[in-house]
Structure 1
Amino acid sequence: MAGARRHTLRDIAAALNLSVNTVSRALSGKDGIGEKTRARVRAEAERVGYVPNSVARSLVLGSAMTFGLVITNPSNPFYAQLISSIELRARTHGYSLLLMVTDESEENETRAVESLLRSSVGGSIVVPVQASADPWRRLSTVGVPTVLLNRDLPDLGYRFVGTDNELGGYRATEHAISRGARSIVVLEEDLPITTIADRIAGFRRAMAEAGLSVPRGSIMRVPTRRHEQAALPWQPQQAYQVARRMLRRARLPDAVVVGNDYFALGLYRALEVRGLKVPDDMMVIGYGDHPYSAFLSPPLTTVRLPAEEVGNIAVDLLLEEIAGGRSARPLKQLIAPTLVERESTDRTTSGRTSSAAKNDSGMTSR
């Protein structure tokens, strides 16, 4: 049975009463095309399922031995580890990576999709901005296999793998409660993404199970630098300023859970300036287990993320999609993080140098 005729640029041009050159420039993202015209062309291309020649040719011949990897922020240590694990896993299967960064920008995300379509990738692994699913729906329309990483777009029904951030927030909070904390504040980045919302949900669940209230002001937002330039790392200075406001309260919390270990740096400094000690005056729990966390004074209790495992599973899922098969793996996979206990929550060792401070190999995890 013959396959359906593949639509061409000429078909789109005829349907919109435009020149083939205009349609080509609109789809390739070149200058000189108005936004309304560009939107009309893209909408028609999506409607008819237009596939660029290079993409169609590579899909037919099976020669697209490149994965597209689209992430939001390469300075995030978690994503840096992901890139490394994905590249290694892909290389063992004969694939190379085409890396693109969106900087949490919808415009950059749309450009990334255009680049993937022009570059004839065999598949893509994507950390979406989560503003809209529409850009990534285009890849499905033209038959480019896609796996979502760390942030889901449920409406698309794509395979997804990520860290169980709700469980991470829960474990961090539960640990603080187990060490005697009854009032807990969360410092989280001011960004509307599911990873942050999930951590806060885990915090609320742990507090509710312990019968503890979450009064107004328990969740404090650190102004995100990503609205300016997401390629920059988190800035401890911003967390420091927020922590200083928190420390002006008449009653200080027993513990603070931060959304990433960079924020712990700012919090440590704010406490030091006030003459307060960790963990005697306030316990601190981080998130991410960044390389420096074990070397802070005191070493930081934090949640370690399963970057290597998540990256390996993402590649395996994409390879299954490319092969056209389905395994026993669930459509959505959440990998549990690990709580690494150090001295920032251990009041039994505060005020003296413990073996854990001298040798981090003595740390415990759960």
Structure 2
Amino acid sequence: MMQRVRLKDVADSLGLSVNTVSRALAGKSEVSPATRQRIQDEADRLGYVPNTLARSLVLGSNQTLALVITNPSNPLYAELISGVEVRARQHGYSLLLLVTEESTENERAAVEALLRSAVDGAIAVPVQSEHEHWRRLNRAGIPLVLVNRDIPELDTDFVGVDNWRGAYDATRHVIARGARTVWALEEDLPITTIAERIDGFHRALDEGGLPSAARDVVAVPTRRYESSALPWQAEGAYTLCRDLIAERGAPDAVITGNDYFALGLMRALAELGYRVPDDVLVTGYGDHPYAGFVSPSLSSVRLPGSQIGAAAVDLLLARGEEPTDQPVKRRIAPTFVARDSTARGATTPDATATA
């Protein structure tokens, strides 16, 4: 982690006095336009923080944390917001929320806003398509903690769900109940959370001795680029699965990447004459509030959103006190909740299910 760039750093780089650099960046007339531009260019290159933030640091703290997320309607992120806000308030901080809607352009604009603002640190769910703007935030010395999606190229702290474990446990659960052909139903989006779940899915199948021909990853076309307000819809999974199962037949089990997809899948199965769980086992991901009330009730992976939010705030505040420490990477395990959609007698021991 890099320390905050100071006026002295800019001055030393140019061989000028701190007073000259300070006057130039403040727009004072005593500095020539050419020198002012040279100083501004060097300040931008080094990632010097604008004076609004510098003044707040001189005073001690502005007592404000920023949370940058892709989509507030995602139930996990709704819990994350609550967890961050509650823990921040406990420490006397207010919360600034920025939403990117899975847009790199919006994300860059959010980072620019943070560089101009007097925030004490930022927590972010990154879009993951680019990361140079996050490097600028790091160079500016503003503490940053990534949540849910990591960017390994950045020297940055991370707190997220152990998505590998969530998918692994769900897959192991259906194998223990006799499934020998298993699909993973995931959104067609190139993000680490999905890649991690697919890895966990394959590992459980490998350990269960299921060959490649007995598994498939089915990608549901994403709608996030159309509207972040409705990132998942049951309709997309319903249409895709209806056509695919009518053509190929149903597998023994389907591990879905979110509960919306599970609902669409179950409707498609019912229309095609398949019964859940007698013919096909189905698991969701996220354990949304309705999961226990649909028929059959949906087995799902419960995510620790509030816990992640609180942990991110704690890590961010600790990072502000020790800016040179090595980055921390923490993954919090989710919990598999077994319900009627996988209520078939276990054929092998299974320790993943909970009430």
TM-score past 0.5 threshold: yes
Structure 1: distance between partners of 2:190 and 2:305: 22
Q: CA deviation at 1:50?
A: 2.5
Does the 8 A contact of 2:182 with 2:214 survive in 1? no
**Residue identity in the other structure for 1:199:** R
Q: Which moved more, 1:191-200 or 1:133-142?
A: 133-142
2:241 pairs with 1:243: yes
Alignment match, 1:195: 193
Does the 8 A contact of 2:246 with 2:272 survive in 1? no
| Equivalent position to 1:97, from 95, 106, 109 | 95
2:331 pairs with 1:342: no
**Residue identity in the other structure for 1:159:** D
Stretches of 4+ aligned residues off by more than 3 angstroms: 2-18
**Residue identity in the other structure for 1:340:** V
So what's the TM-score if we normalise by structure 1?
0.84
2:72 pairs with 1:70: no
Alignment match, 1:290: 288
Aligned-residue Cα RMSD (Å) equals 2.7
Gap runs ≥5 in structure 1: 24-40, 350-362
Alignment match, 2:354: 365
Does the 8 A contact of 1:46 with 1:138 survive in 2? no
Distance 1:311 1:219, change over 3 A: same
Q: How high is the sequence identity, in percent, across the aligned residues?
A: 55
Once the two structures are superposed, residues 289-323 of structure 1 have per-residue CA deviations (whole angstroms, 9 ceiling, x without a partner) of 00000011011111111112111110000010122
Q: CA deviation at 1:63?
A: 2.5
Does the 8 A contact of 2:173 with 2:353 survive in 1? no
So what's the TM-score if we normalise by structure 2?
0.86
Alignment match, 1:318: 316
Does the 8 A contact of 1:75 with 1:231 survive in 2? yes
Q: CA deviation at 1:248?
A: 1.5
Count of aligned residue pairs for this structure pair:
329
| Equivalent position to 1:182, from 180, 183, 203 | 180
Does the 8 A contact of 1:12 with 1:45 survive in 2? no
Alignment match, 2:349: none
Q: CA deviation at 1:45?
A: 4.6
Structure 2: distance between partners of 1:286 and 1:156: 32
Does the 8 A contact of 2:126 with 2:150 survive in 1? yes
Alignment match, 2:328: 331
Alignment match, 1:149: 147
Distance 1:268 1:251, change over 3 A: closer
| Equivalent position to 2:169, from 171, 176, 183 | 171
Matches within 5 A, 1:1-366: 3-4=8-9, 5=11, 8-9=24-25, 14=34, 45-215=43-213, 218-324=216-322, 331-347=328-344, 365=354
| Structure with the larger RCO, 1 or 2 (CA within 8 Å, 6+ apart) | 2
Structure 2: distance between partners of 1:214 and 1:12: 69
Does the 8 A contact of 1:90 with 1:315 survive in 2? yes
Distance 1:55 1:209, change over 3 A: same
Q: Which moved more, 1:308-317 or 1:47-56?
A: 47-56
